[in-house]
Copies of this chain bind each other. A is one copy, B any other.
Amino acid sequence: MKLLWLYAHPEPRSLNGHLRTRGIAAATALGHAVVQSDLYAMGWNPVVSRADHPDGDGRFRAADASHAAFRAGRLPVDVAAEQEKLLGADAVVVQFPLWWYGPPAILKGWFDRVLVKGLGYGTGSRYGAGALAGKRALTVVTAGARESSLAPRGIHGSLDQILWPLLHGTYFYTGMAPLRPLLVGSADRLTEAEAEAAADALADRLRGLGTERPLAFRAEASGDYDERLRLRHDIAPGELGLEAHLGGST
């Protein structure tokens, strides 16, 4: 498969840097072709702004401006290059340290700028369908917290709950199949042996990248949601948590 490895950490000599090196080596050994976006090394600009659309002069509407530029082939060069990498990939590995329970700003802004209207949304289909359908997304996250606390009923919430905006609101929204994220907890306190075990766990996940079963979110077109886009009464009746949105077919 062709992989895009999207990576957001400021220090190559870090646990994340080590996992990235080991992960890309493992993916390559498995026969995958890996293209990388190392956002810090690229000096990626994460800020959606009018500067991306020098033609406009009236009120700046980010969605409309990016949609028009996308259709006209006039997006900024850096954005177009990332879209090309993404569209050419069969799977995306998204690797980052958890900062304030989300991706670092430089990575959030990759999604903000790259997934423009016409590609990421506004395509007429979403949540289980869309322009990125057929691609798989594996999230690799390091966190300072212990894994026991990043769990259902854990004080921080489970990683799936914390990353709902990414797993469901971004990957699944755009049609990608979200795989269960890989968590490396206690990241500031790992021994060398534990860091190697984490790299092995990543290699394991890469082995199953093309075959493992994605998170079974319910597709918008599944009929599980009513006309107000709420779960029908007979679907997961009475459940209010995010878990109610699982149970689709994969």
Point out residues on A near B: beta carbons under 8 Å: 10-11, 13-14, 40, 46-50, 59-63, 99-106, 108-109, 111-112, 115, 120, 127, 144-146, 148-149, 151-157, 161-162, 164-166, 168-170, 188, 220, 225, 228-231, 239-245
Contact = CB atoms under 8 A, between A and B. Distances in A.
A153 B240 contact: yes
A190 to B, nearest CB: 14
Contacts of A115: 100
A111 B106 contact: no
Given A46-B47, A47-B105, A157 B164 contact: yes
A228 B149 contact: yes
Contact of A48 (B10, B61, B109): B10
B229 A148 contact: yes
B47 A106 contact: yes
A105 B102 contact: no
